Amino acid sequence: MTYISIEMERFECAACSTKTEEAYLAARCRKCGGALIPIPLVDRRVKRSELESLPPGVWRYRELLPRVEEHQIVTLGEGGTPLLAAPRLGVELGFGGLLIKDETRNPTGSFIDRGATVLASVAKRDGVRRVLCTTTGNLGASLAAYSAKAGIDTRIGIHPNTDPGKLYQMIAYGAKVEVLSHLRPAPNEREEATAVTAANHYLLEGEKTTAFEIIQDEGWSQPDAIVLPVGTGGHLTMVWNGLLQLSAAGIIQKPTCRLVGVQLEGSPPLTEVPEKRPRRSRGAGALTELEESDPVFLNAAARAIRDSRGFGVKVSAKEAIGSTGELARTEGIFAEPAAASVIAAMRKIGEEELLSKDSRVVCIITGTGLKDTKAISRIARTAKHIVTREQLVIKPVQLGATKVSILRLLRGEPLFGYLLWKKLKEGRSISIPSIYQHLSELEGIDLVRRSSIARAKGRERVIYELTRKGLAALEAASRAAEGEKLLLD
């Protein structure tokens, strides 16, 4: 390229603000071990016409991304997602200029693919052969897909609460999955592997391209506001970072766009330093992508919001789930509740007149609802006019042998997943993740429920018990089995 300068990837610690130029995949702050935030690459120059001449997608902006060679790029066609006018939803919410940046269109259904393509490309550049990751869902699915493409071995530790759809993705892409009782690095990991978290600085680098695309699709002008979920705070920080970088590159004037961060009620406030790991929010299990992401970049996100003259909005899990239906019915986009939370936030913003009604507002819908089976069943339960609950319930005869065995064991006594696995594995080959998978599905159709949490061998265990409906299903399954036996006889 014509624009060569002495450029370094530079990072700043999210916790202590120490700067570093150590640009490798697993780098952390040398002083405190904190996560790193990329500093906008202000020495990069690029022209609008040059960007316009390239095909859409994350790598259209490669001049503004970490340096990798063409042959090192690991891509599945991420980014280049549509910026759609949302007039029907706009009428409901009272905003005439409402736009949706539809990130559900990414290869694995989440905006994280923008980061995963950069991360996997840097991994390939640096000769990384194996990555290790703990996650609550979307990151694992995305990382597994890009690792598959790059030929990188991936091991993923997941929380028992992980959405089945995301777990299926990880398994399908060939990742080795282990269920952890806490989100922490997988134990006994002696083989050489590079640890990756949702706070990885190369993931962040890719995530700033959301901002680049919004600006380019708006004809190189800025909307009045961009509304997005806070989560770890990383995406929001990088959207601001991206605007600063476009400004430094001479593509736009000073950033004027206000950033609005959406959080679940009970999340740590956007203005304080989280000294310890923040408390889990209320409504446990409702919105894993929002509530279980450790908000390591909360300070940086708060700063970005302040610098953009933006603000934070909190919504309840119920409001977020409700808005998935609203978004799908009005604009044909099915988002996961964590993503649709921005729509619930827009309602509040309208009611409290936090933005003027003629504002041009971009809502970023970060991930698809298709893999969030728990949310799907919740929505279906409330949408009585579309489908009755009975239509969704798996008929007892449709329960597979493993599920029937699980119900039978739980009729005897409430148990946690590991014990269930120990009792079940005799006489059949079954993995622990698949036990949690079955439990999650049974929970989704109300046949089992969580009764309590017990500590065993220093770990917290979720105890499952049979519901009344579960007992009825088990009896029906037994009757059906008897009937079959009679027929065969």
Among 29, 89, 355, 448, binds Zn ion (CB under 5 A): 29
User: Is residue 433 a contact residue for Zn ion (CB under 5 A)?
Assistant: no
Q: Which is nearer to Zn ion, 32 or 472 (CB)?
A: 32
Looking at beta carbons only, is 19 or 282 nearer to Zn ion? 19
- In terms of CB distance, is 35 or 58 closer to Zn ion? 35
Stretch that binds Zn ion, among 18-26, 90-98, 355-363, 472-480 (CB under 5 A): 18-26
Q: Residue 138 in contact with residue 110, Cβ under 8 Å?
A: yes
Asked if 19 interacts with Zn ion (CB under 5 A), we say no
Q: Any idea how long the chain is? A: 489
Nearer to Zn ion, 147 or 237 (CB): 237
Q: Which is nearer to Zn ion, 18 or 330 (CB)?
A: 18
Residue 97, strand partner residues: 360
Calculate the CA 385 to chain-centre distance. 30
Which of 18, 256, 359, 478 binds Zn ion (CB under 5 A)? It is: 18
DSSP state of 124: H
DSSP, collapsed to helix, strand or coil, labels residue 76 as: coil
- Tell me how many residues contact Zn ion (CB under 5 A): 8
Q: Which is nearer to Zn ion, 8 or 32 (CB)?
A: 32
Q: Is 35 in the site for Zn ion (CB under 5 A)?
A: no
Q: Does 31 bind Zn ion (CB under 5 A)?
A: yes
Phi, psi of 459 (to 5 degrees): -115, 150
Q: In terms of DSSP bridges, do strands 225-229 and 36-38 run parallel, antiparallel, or are they unpaired?
A: unpaired
Chain centroid to Cα 212, Å, comes to: 20
Contacts 24+ apart (CB under 8 A), 444-453: 444/164, 444/373, 444/374, 444/377, 445/377, 445/392, 445/393, 445/394, 446/393, 446/470, 447/403, 447/407, 447/473, 448/406, 448/407, 448/410, 451/414, 452/414
Token reading at 164: 């089945």
Residue with tokens 């910026």: 83
| Binder of Zn ion out of 12, 13, 206, 470 (CB under 5 A) | 13
Check residue 32 for interaction with Zn ion (CB under 5 A). yes
User: Is 119 among the residues that bind Zn ion (CB under 5 A)?
Assistant: no
Does the footprint of Zn ion cover residue 37 (CB under 5 A)?
Answer: no
User: How far is it, in rounded angstroms, from Cα 153 to Cα 317?
Assistant: 36
- Which stretch in 22-30, 232-240, 301-309, 419-427 sits in contact with Zn ion by CB under 5 A? 22-30
State which amino acid sits at residue 484. E
- Interaction of residue 34 with Zn ion, rule CB under 5 A: yes
Per CB under 5 A, the list member of 8, 16, 54, 386 interacting with Zn ion is 16
Contact 171, 448 (CB under 8 A): no
One-letter amino acid at 36 equals: L
Q: Which stretch binds Zn ion (CB under 5 A): 23-31, 377-385, 420-428, 464-472?
A: 23-31
State which residue, 34 or 160, has the beta carbon closest to Zn ion: 34
Q: Which residues bind Zn ion (CB under 5 A)?
A: 13, 15-16, 18, 29, 31-32, 34
